[in-house]
Amino acid sequence: MEDFIMPLPLIPIVSALAAGGSLVPHAAGGLIVTGAGGYIAGTFLSTAAISGILTTASATLGASALYLSGATASIVGTAGIFGTTIGASGVTGALMSAGLISSTPVWVPIAAAGAAIGCGYGGYRFLKLARKIKKTPEGVEAQFSETEARIVEKVIKRLVKKDVSGNEAK
């Protein structure tokens, strides 16, 4: 038990979010969870705490995203040489070999491009938030926007879904 260190007291924040609250900018800087009755006591997140959350998320979720993007490309696969079944791989190759599709449908690369653009924009917003926090002087609370509060809320919810070993929590 002495090896277990909890650097961020997220339990009241996670509980308040699970009960239907949402993370919003606080007037004094930082973020706080609000519910139907206003701010929820014990749920204030300082700029330093948010920095720790983003650092954890970039390591944990970033590695997961990298793994999943590689796995997705392997599973979907590609058509073979010049769109033939020769060298085709993954699900696409199997469907082409079975004669169910003649080539990769046009919607597949369009959907992949849309997903890449969405992920790219999300990564840009995340990076912009991380830079803002890094530029904030020590001991000063940064003023956050509603969009930045939603980003941090989503990050917290995703981190909560992971257990210590990196597996999905039940």
| Residue 35 amino acid letter | G
**Count of domains in the chain?**
1
Does residue 103 belong to any structural domain of this protein? Answer: no
Does residue 123 belong to any structural domain of this protein? Answer: yes
Does residue 39 belong to any structural domain of this protein? Answer: yes
Does residue 21 belong to any structural domain of this protein? Answer: yes
Cα 161 to Cα 33, 74, 138, 164, 166, distances in angstroms? 19, 25, 30, 10, 9
| Residue 149 amino acid letter | A
73-99 pLDDT tens trace: 555 556 555 555 555 666 666 666 666
Instruction: Write out the DSSP string of 137-167.
Output: PTT-PPP--HHHHHHHHHHHHHHHHB-TTSS
Tell which wins on pLDDT, 107 or 80: 107
Does residue 94 belong to any structural domain of this protein? Answer: no
Q: What is the mean pLDDT of the chain?
A: 75
Residue range of the domain that includes 123:
11-77+110-161
Does residue 155 belong to any structural domain of this protein? Answer: yes
With a CB cutoff of 8 Å and minimum separation 6, the contacts of 62 are: none
29-80 pLDDT tens trace: 999 999 988 999 889 999 988 888 888 877 766 655 555 555 555 555 565 5
